[in-house]
Amino acid sequence: MPNNKPDMITVDDKNFGSHIEHWNLLTDDPTQIVPRWLGQALDAPVMPMGLCTNEDDMDANTWLIQGPSQATIQFSQVVAVENNKPKCVKTAFPIFESPYKTSAKIERIISCQSNTQAVLRLNLGGNATVYAFDNLYSVNQSQYQKDQSYCVHLNAWAYELEQVNEHEQIIVDDPASIKHHRALNAILAANNGIAPNDLQQQIEAWQPQTEEDRAPLTVDFSHMVAYLYGETVGQEDEAWFQGKIVGKTHTQCMQEEYVLYDVTLLLEDNEEATLIRIASRNSAYMNFEIGQYIRGNIWIQANIYAKNGK
């Protein structure tokens, strides 16, 4: 029987990254507070099935427990099970849901050695790729199929955020970069905005005709949408982004106030924008407004409950 699973990479647990820094985003004293929260979450637990249609599809040796139920922000626990009884908590991490969904294929799964958690390499179509921590990996891992399109909800926790100033600019004076930019613009203008099949060859052959063609470029990136994933294998879900705020709400968790920003993560030509919901309890990040551009470092998560996209 042919292997129909996405590509898999296994990373040593100690190199996969710790959730301590993630819990630090929710409390200043995770060592004392988080065990209490996890206990409280068991008072009103949820056991999501993800892509599984019945309990027989799920791993009998692992439970995924989320709670408190009905809360916007929840605490997720992956529990080892023996003889249908909980044995120990393998890992725990904070989660929440995003209302925004995008269609994506799972190109690769980067799992830790104990196989309790994973980062997914998601292809959103074309050249658009996002890495995200899989909140439902312990129930979904046996269900994932290569080339299958899934409905993915993306959310993130903010480490650092800042507003992008209006008309932020950089001066590009590298001759090769100037030539590439001028050539690309000239070739597209001559082809009614459509890239010819030999675009790269035409760019290489193009030569400046005037002093203006050689002049430094002023690039305004204040309205740029950008996303860079982490460079460390197993920690690609730790990302940098810049995007536009299109929505803003608030919620509470354990008497703490959180702001939720809906932000453009990806904006490809002729494609619908990919939106992500970003949460923070940092008072310094509460006052950004809809329409502004922000940037910063975030931890991206994914929730997958269904096949076949939007």
Per-residue pLDDT tens for 110-125? Answer: 999 888 899 999 999 8
The mean pLDDT of 52-75, rounded to a whole number, is: 90
Residues in the chain: 310
pLDDT for res 2? 53
Q: How confident is the model at residue 262 (pLDDT cuts 50, 70, 90)?
A: very high
pLDDT in tens, 200-255: 999 999 999 898 999 888 777 788 899 999 999 999 999 999 999 999 999 999 99
Per-residue pLDDT tens over the stretch 68-81: 888 899 999 999 99
pLDDT the model gives residue 272: 85
pLDDT at 310 (0 to 100): 46
pLDDT at 260 over 70: yes
**Residue 181 scores a pLDDT above 90:** no
SS3 of the chain: CCCCCCEEEEECHHHHCCCHHHHCCCCCCHHHHHHHHHHHHCCCCECCCCCCCCHHHCCCCEEEEEECCCCCEEEEEEEEEECCEEEEEEEEEEEECCCCEEEEEEEEEEEECCCCCEEEEEEEECCEEEEEEECCHHHHCCCCCCCCEEEEEEEEEEEEEEECCCCCEEEECCHHHHHHHHHHHHHHHHCCCCCCCCHHHHHHHCCCCCHHHHCCEEEECCCCCEEECCCCCCCCCEEEEEEEEEEEEEEEECCEEEEEEEEEEECCCCCCCEEEEEEECCHHHCCCCCCCEEEEEEEEEEEEEEECCC
Highest-scoring range by mean pLDDT, 15-19, 83-87, 201-205, 300-304: 300-304
Best CA proximity match to 144, nearest among 109, 116, 187, 92: 109
* Average of per-residue pLDDT across 260-266: 97
Predicted TM-score (pTM) of the model is 0.86
Which range is least confidently modeled, 25-29, 180-184, 302-306? 180-184
pLDDT above 90 covers a percentage of the chain that reads 68
Closest-CA residue to 243 (of 299, 279, 286, 290) = 290
